[in-house]
Amino acid sequence: MKQPVGRRRSHGTPLFRFSSFYTRLRFILILLAFVALLPPVFFHFKLRRLHQTKLRKCGWLNNPPLVCAHGGDSTNAFPNTMSAYSIALHSQVDCIEIDVSRSSDGVLFALHDRDLQRISGNSTSKVGHFRSNELKELDVYHQSGNSKIPTIEDALKLISASVRQVILDAKVGPPSYEKGLANDILSTVEKMQCKNCLIWAKSDSLVRDIIKLSSDVAVRR
């Protein structure tokens, strides 16, 4: 005798329901596992980002910038004087910048045209129009006391062994301008054995002359 068609259909229903339940359960478990993983993944990337930000903001502590005193301590002494250099050294600066100008007879002085104009009271004064003996006779008056204008040799003798870097800021001016200036500066650096001297110049012509004459002295523009 044949069984009713309706009974055969009822045999498959529990299996279908079990399969459907198992699929939903598996989906829920996967979803829960995914949700459980979200916090640690989120915090991992958050900490990584914070670490990168810290490196970006504080990385310079491992390689701190060079603190350079422009003309020495020009706040407590007249710029580019032995007093200014001495005070800067006492403050334990890493670097001292020296302005380099040339007298009419070829002597290099630690002097800027601007400072010469303050000393002489003449707004048109140029270092290159003065002879070395005239520059040496000038008195620099400042609250820290009287000073004389030093030559580059005198300045290097005082500071080069006490700082990490010496920057020689070469000033180009009349009447000789760049003519022979590279050789004069390099000769002085070599004579004073300034291994930590770096020459800084705005003149492309002067930079090229220095590079041609020496590969041992650093030069920047």
Kindly indicate the confidence band of residue 67, based on its pLDDT and cuts at 50, 70 and 90: confident
pLDDT band at 142 (very low <50, low <70, confident <90, very high): low
Long-range contacts of 83-92 (CB under 8 A, 24+ apart): 83/142, 83/144, 83/145, 83/147, 85/155, 85/158, 85/159, 86/158, 87/144, 88/159, 89/158, 89/159, 89/162, 89/163
Average pLDDT, stretch 146-160? 93
| Range 68-220: architecture per CATH | Alpha-Beta Barrel (3.20)
pLDDT for position 44: 73
CB 183 within 8 A of CB 214: no
Which residue would you say has higher pLDDT here, 163 or 38? 163
- Kindly tell me if the per-residue pLDDT of 50 is higher than 80: no
The string of pLDDT tens digits covering residues 174-221 is 999 999 999 999 999 999 999 999 999 999 999 999 999 998 899 987
Least reliable range by pLDDT among 4-13, 72-81, 119-128: 4-13
**Which DSSP letter does residue 61 get?**
G
**Count of residues making up the chain:** 221
pLDDT higher than 60, residue 132: yes
Least confident of 3-17, 110-124, 199-213: 3-17
Q: What is the pLDDT of residue 175?
A: 92
* Residue with token string 């020496």: 214
Sign of the Cα pseudo-torsion (48, 53, 54, 59, in order)? positive
Q: What is the mean pLDDT of residues 72-100?
A: 95
Work out the percent of the chain whose per-residue pLDDT is above 70. Answer: 85
The pLDDT score that the predictor gives to residue 190 is: 96
Q: Does 91 or 56 have the greater pLDDT score? A: 91
- Distance (Å, whole) CA 107 – CA 102: 5
